[in-house]
Chain A
Amino acid sequence: MQNTNLITVKDNKTAFIPYLVAGHTSNEVFSAALKLLDELGADLIEIGIPFTDPIAEGKIIESAHHHALKHDFVLDDICKIVKEFRKISDTPVIAMGYTNSFINPSSEHIATNLSESGFNGVLIVDLPVSEKSIINSFKDKQLNLVQLIAPTTQLTLIEDFLANDPALIYYITQRGITGSNNLNLEEISEKLGAIKKLSNKPVVTGFGIKTVEDVENLKTLTDGIVIGSPIVEKISIDPSLVALKEYLEPIVEAIKS
C-alpha cells in the first residue's frame, strides 16, 4: 500500500527525521540504533546505503560509509534487520543513497528487496528526474519517492520535479555537503515559502542542522527536520549509543515542542 505521505503533517507539528548509515558500526549497532531512534520519536527514518564514492557527503558520513563497506556490509542483512524492525514499529523507513547502489544487479531487484523487507521509500541523491525507467522500478513496488530540491534549483522547473509524484520534498538547506556549517535562514525561509506556494507536498529540510538552536530557528518553516552527520558521529564515537541518546533528547524535544 503506497502512502501518499511519508510523514503526516498535522497540528503544525514538525517531523523528526534521523539519518543513519546501514551496517554502521556493525549490524548489531545499526539495529539497536534504529530501535533507539524510533523510541526517541522518529517520524521517518533515513537509512543510508553505503557507497564507495558518496559525493554529496561530508567526512563524517563518508567515513561511516567506508567503515560499513570495510566490515562487509550486505544489503540483504539490512533488509533482514528492517523486516525485524517492522514487527515492532510502523515508523516509515526510506533507503537513501547513490544510483549505483540501486541498479546493481538491477533496479527491479533492489526495489523488490526493499519493498518486501518493509522499506517505504527511496531517496537517490544523484538520480535525475528524467531517469524514468529506474524511477518506475521503485514506483512499481509501491516505494515512495523523495525529491531533493537545492538552493540553486530553478523553481520555474518545479513541474519537472513533481512529475514523478514524490511523496515528500527534501529541501537541501545549503550549497554544500552533509555536515557543513552554512545555514542561511533568510534564503531557507524564502525558498521554502516559494516551494510551498508551488506544491502541496510536505517539505522537509536537511544538511547542516546540528543544534537545538538550529532546530528552533527552522522548525516553524518546515514540515520536518533531518539530522544526519551528528547522529552518525555519535554512533561512531560511542557504539553503546549512550552519547547518541543524550545528544538527541533535547533536539527531539525542541522539534516537537
Chain B
Amino acid sequence: MNKGYFGDYGGLFIPETLSHALNELEKLYTDIKDDKDFNSQLTNIYKDYVGRPSPLYFAESLTNHLKGPKIWFKREDLNHTGAHKINNTVGQALLAKMLGKKRIIAETGAGQHGVATATICAKLGLECIVYMGAKDIERQELNVFKIETLGASIVPVHSGTATLKDALNEAIRDWVTNVDSSHYIIGSVTGPHPYPTIVRDFNAISGRELKEQAINQFKALPDMIIACVGGGSNAMGVFYPFIEDETVELIGVEAGGKDSSDIGGASITDGSTGVLHGAKTKILQSKSGNILETNSISAGLDYPGVGPEHAYLADLKRAKYVKIFDDEALEAFYEISKIEGIIPALETAHALAYLKKISTLDKNKNVVVNMSGRGDKDLYSVMKNAKH
C-alpha cells in the first residue's frame, strides 16, 4: 500500500508549501505515538480534564419502547465540551506543543470542533483561530459565543457555500501562509496524510473503552455499532478497534438531507471517487469534478467528502453506510429526549434514527450507538424551525 493510503483512498494532495510540515508531523507522530511520557500526559488529560472513560449506558426505556435488540449508548456526549471532538484536539494540541508551534488553526462546522480546539488552547496557552462558514455561524450561535468566550478568534468564511467545506479551504490557506508558526488541527478523519490516521487514533479511545466495557457489562462484543458519519471521526474512532472483530456489524449513518430528491451529504452512499481537501476519497461532485453544495439539517454532517478510511471500509464491505433524512433525525431527536432524558446532537440523532430500521433484530443482541455529542448547541435552531 502506498504511503498514507487506505486501499485506493487517502494520499497527500496538497500545495507543495505544506508538504514539509506534513512530513514533520508524520515523523513526530510516528516517534511519539507509543512514547510513554506522551501517552501518560494524554491519559491524564483524558481522565481529569475530559472526564474519560465515558460510560457505556444501557438505554432501557428506549429498548423497551422499540421492542427490538438491547440498545446501549457510548456516552461521548458526556465529555467536557459535549462531544467526541475533544479526544482529537487534546492529542493534537500536545503534538503542536512538541512541534514548537504556538498558533493553532482549526475549521469548524457545527462548532463542536471549534469549541474543543479553543478549550484545549485555552488550557495550554496556545493562540487559536477558528474558521467557520457564515451559514454555520448563523445556525450555531451558541458555539460561536462559546469559542469567543474561550479566548479564540472566529473568522467567518463567506466564499463558496459558506459552510464547513469553505471553512476548511480558508483554514488551509491560513496554514499555507503561516506554516512555520502554526499547527492545523483538522477536525475529522479527513485531509492529507497523516491527518486521517492521527485523528482516528486519538478518537479510537472511545472504541477501546467500549470493547472493555462491553465485555464487563454484557460479557460479549457488541453485535452492532452505529455512528453518524460526516467527515467520520466519531465513527472511525469507535469502529477502529473492532475492525478485526468480524462478528461486529459496523453501521455508518450519513445525512440524506430533506428527502431522496435532495443532495444531502451522503458522500459514500451517493458520491464517487475524487480528491478534496488533500485526500482521494468519496465525494459529492459534478461530472467535471467540481464539488457540490450539500444540504443537511445538521451542520456537522453537511460536508461533501468523508474520511478516506471510511471509503475503504465501504469498498471492503467491512462497514455498511446508510442515510437518514432530516425528518427522521428530528423525530429521533425528540423521541430520545423524551424517552431517555438525553438531548442528542442533530448529528447523533441521525445514528439514533437508524435504530427504527433494526427493531426486528433478535432481542438478545446488543446494539451500541456512539452518542457522539449532546444537543445543547442545536436547541436554538430546532426551536426556530419548530416555530415555522
Contacts and interface: CB of A to CB of B under 8 A. Distances in A.
A174 to B, nearest CB: 8
Given A100-B275, A127-B13, A128-B13, A53 B173 contact: no
A53 B169 contact: yes
A130 interface: yes
A31 interface: no
Q: Which of B14, B275, B285, B287 has the most CB of A within 10 A?
A: B275
Nearest to B159: A62
- How many of chain A's residues touch chain B, expressed as a range? 35 or more
Interface string A91-112: 0000000111111110000000
B179 interface: yes
B293 to A, nearest CB: 9
A103 B274 contact: yes
Given A53-B277, A126-B14, A128-B11, A152 B179 contact: yes
Given A55-B172, A66-B160, A128-B12, A100 B274 contact: yes
Interface stretch (B17-25, B218-226, B247-255, B318-326): B17-25
Contact of B16 (A148, A176, A182): A148
Nearest to B292: A52
Interface in B246-305: 274-278, 283, 285, 287-291
Nearest to A56: B15
Interface in A153-185: 153-154, 172, 175-177, 180, 182
A103 B275 contact: yes
Interface in A88-142: 98-105, 125-128, 130-131
Contacts, number: 113
B20 A105 contact: no
Contacts of A105: 287
Interface string B152-174: 00000001100001100100110
B193 to A, nearest CB: 10
A75 interface: yes
Nearest to B17: A150
Nearest to B23: A154
A176 B160 CA distance: 20
Given A53-B291, A103-B289, A126-B14, A153 B180 contact: no
A180 B177 CA distance: 9
Contacts of B179: 152, 175
A55 B173 contact: yes
Given A62-B159, A104-B274, A176-B177, A74 B288 contact: yes
A192 to B, nearest CB: 15
A75 B288 contact: yes
Interface residues of B, number: 38
A56 B289 contact: no
Q: Which of B12, B16, B165 has the most CB of A within 10 A?
A: B16
B176 interface: yes
Q: Which of B15, B172, B287 has the most CB of A within 10 A?
A: B15
A98 B23 CA distance: 21
Interface in B80-128: none
A193 interface: no
A62 B172 CA distance: 14
A150 B160 contact: no
A63 B159 CA distance: 8
Nearest to B178: A175
A56 B14 CA distance: 9
B60 to A, nearest CB: 46
Interface of A: 50-56, 58-59, 62-63, 66, 69, 74-75, 98-105, 125-128, 130-131, 148-154, 172, 175-177, 180, 182
The 7 closest A-B pairs by CB, nearest first: A104-B289, A150-B17, A100-B289, A176-B177, A99-B275, A52-B291, A56-B15
Given A69-B290, A128-B11, 17 more contacts: A51-B290, A53-B165, A55-B172, A74-B288, A98-B275, A100-B275, A100-B276, A100-B290, A126-B13, A128-B12, A128-B19, A130-B12, A148-B15, A153-B16, A172-B16, A177-B173, A180-B177
